[in-house]
């Protein structure tokens, strides 16, 4: 019998396996040999310290956050449901980052269309500290408090929004089929950064 550890999909191991399938010669004793990988890729490697890129304070941590495993699970609420045994629809309530992690195992590369209506970053419309080590009860207590403001005077007004959006969009991309599409509602506050972050994650057109 297969023993489950209760963790969400290990995206880092999956990425390493894909890299190993493509370039087995870039691995030494099970570890990535970046010098060997550089030689394999030849002139396509960027070696200049100064180059064009879309970056911000905390981007590295946002990338790690998207790859992080969790032990979250989905619990059915049959009493609150209608036609549980026959419906083809599913409504999930929970923190969207944790839910996106949980969905990776079952729905990766299977979703036809995603629509999201993220915070417009108007100054007080989202909690931007992604620390979900607490249990659900404590998280709900945090949410019921006044939401943490992100005013333009905060200094990292756009940075906080980007750090909130990046891991969620990254995980959403993993769910889309090759011919899948994503629609995003936004206003003028972050539309320019949304275009950049989508090019960064989905690839520029």
Contact 124, 150 (CB under 8 A): yes
Question: Tens digits of per-residue pLDDT, 124-182?
Answer: 656 555 554 444 555 555 555 444 556 565 557 789 899 999 999 999 999 999 999 99
Mean pLDDT of 7-14: 87
* pLDDT score recorded for residue 147: 46
Confidence band for 204, pLDDT divided at 50, 70 and 90: confident
**% of the chain surpassing 90 pLDDT:** 52
Comparing 156 with 23, the larger pLDDT belongs to 23
Confidence band for 193, pLDDT divided at 50, 70 and 90: very high
Radius of gyration of the chain measured on its C-alpha atoms: 20
d(CA 157, CA 149): 10
**Residue 39 reports pLDDT greater than 80:** yes
**Residue 50 reports pLDDT greater than 50:** yes
Mean pLDDT (the chain, rounded): 83
**Residue 114 reports pLDDT greater than 60:** yes
**Residue 6 reports pLDDT greater than 90:** no
Element (H, E) at 182: strand 176-184
Between the alpha carbon of residue 192 and those of residues 157, 177, 198, the distances in Å are 14, 26, 10
* pLDDT score recorded for residue 2: 44
* pLDDT score recorded for residue 9: 84
**% of the chain surpassing 70 pLDDT:** 79
d(CA 162, CA 31): 31
- Residue 171 in 3-state DSSP? helix
**Residue 110 reports pLDDT greater than 70:** yes
DSSP letters for 96-161: HHHHHHHHHHHHTTTEEEEEE------SSS--------S-HHHHHHHHHSPPPP--GGGS-HHHHH
Structural domain boundaries in the chain: 7-46, 58-76+93-205
* pLDDT score recorded for residue 130: 54
* pLDDT score recorded for residue 201: 94
């Amino acid at each position: 019998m297969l023993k489950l550890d209760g963790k969400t999909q290990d995206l880092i191991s999956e990425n390493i396996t894909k890299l190993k399938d493509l370039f087995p010669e870039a691995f030494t004793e099970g570890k990535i040999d970046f010098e060997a990988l550089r030689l394999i890729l030849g002139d396509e490697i960027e070696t200049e310290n100064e180059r064009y890129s879309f970056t911000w304070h905390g981007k590295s941590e946002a990338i790690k956050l998207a790859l992080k495993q969790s032990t979250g699970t989905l619990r059915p609420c049959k009493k609150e449901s209608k036609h549980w045994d026959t419906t083809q629809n599913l409504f999930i309530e929970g923190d969207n980052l944790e839910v996106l992690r949980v969905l990776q195992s079952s729905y990766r590369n299977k979703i036809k269309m995603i629509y999201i209506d993220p915070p417009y970053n108007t100054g007080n419309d989202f909690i931007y500290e992604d620390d979900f080590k607490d249990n659900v009860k404590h998280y709900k207590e945090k949410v019921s408090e006044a939401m943490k403001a992100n005013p333009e005077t905060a200094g990292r007004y756009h940075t906080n929004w980007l750090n909130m959006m990046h891991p969620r969009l990254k995980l959403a991309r993993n769910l889309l089929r090759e011919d899948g599409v994503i629609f995003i509602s936004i206003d003028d506050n972050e539309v320019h950064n949304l275009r950049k972050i989508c090019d960064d994650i989905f690839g520029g057109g």
